[in-house]
Amino acid sequence: MYPEELKYTDDHEWIRVENGKAYVGLTQYAQEQLGDVVFVELPDVGEEFEMGDSFGVVESVKTVSDLFMPVGGKVVEINEDLEDSPEAVNEDPYGDGWIVAIEIADKSQLDQLMDSEAYQKTLE
């Protein structure tokens, strides 16, 4: 439910560092709380954000929620498949449901995030 190799935020997002870039998505808990995701508003590739900035929006049938940057950086890739299949956020939150990939500006910000165990404690 909460893979060990990821880092987590208070906003119920995960980040996975891989070959110099970092993928970002919503956690299992977040997608359960949202319910059926029907729309994801993505940023443009090249946009830069500070840690905690809103970079997009995820909408379920009933709700509209901001997406926040887990750490500061530049968007290098967006998951365009979500345009036609936003339900991937529900069905495969750590895989096909990834939202953006970023180039991290300051890797030390990762130390401020939670590991799997600490994140799960916040859900109790």
Please state the closest distance from residue 61 (CB atom) to another protein, in A: 4
CB of 45 to another protein, least distance (A): 17
Per-position b or e across 48-57, b if 16+ CB within 10 A of its CB: ebebeeebbe
Which one, 43 or 73, has the nearer CB to another protein? Answer: 43
Q: Which is nearer to another protein, 57 or 123 (CB)?
A: 57
Interface residues with another protein (CB under 8 A) are 35-36, 38-39, 41, 57, 59-62, 64, 83
> Which CB sits closer to another protein, 36 or 103?
36
Cβ proximity to another protein: between 35 and 95 the closer is: 35
Q: What residue type is assigned to position 103 of the chain?
A: E
Q: What is the phi/psi pair of residue 115, to 5°?
A: -85, 175
User: Could you give the dihedral angle defined by the CA atoms of residues 59, 80, 3 and 56, in that order, rounded to the nearest 10 degrees?
Assistant: -40
Question: Smallest distance, Å, CB 86 to another protein?
Answer: 9
- Distance separating alpha carbons of residues 53 and 34, to the nearest angstrom: 20
